[in-house]
Amino acid sequence: MKIAGATPEILNNIGYSFMLRGDYRRARETLLQAQAQDPANPYIRNNLELLEASFRKGKAIQ
């Protein structure tokens, strides 16, 4: 991240990685940072929707 900085794409990938590891709080924080930088990005939006679906199913801790 030092070379490119925290781009929305990098933040999205990090957030998705947190989600896969079960760290839902950090996933949400990171994905929201990515979305703030690029609100129209469909990949970020999709990952946030996946995370929210996990919340609704009770798999993620709020």
Residue 45 lies in a domain: yes
Residue-number span of the structural domain to which 48 is assigned: 8-56
Give the count of domains, the chain: 1
For residue 17, is it within any domain?
yes
Q: Is the pLDDT of residue 61 over 60?
A: no
The DSSP annotation for 13-26 comes to: HHHHHHHHTT-HHH
| pLDDT for residue 27 | 96
Q: Where is pLDDT greater, at 55 or 29?
A: 29
pTM above 0.75, yes or no: yes
Is residue 3 assigned to a domain? no
| Domain-located, residue 62 | no
What is the pLDDT averaged over residues 45-59? 87
| 32 falls within a domain | yes
**Separation in Å, CA 13 to CA 3, 7, 16, 19, 56:** 16, 10, 5, 10, 22
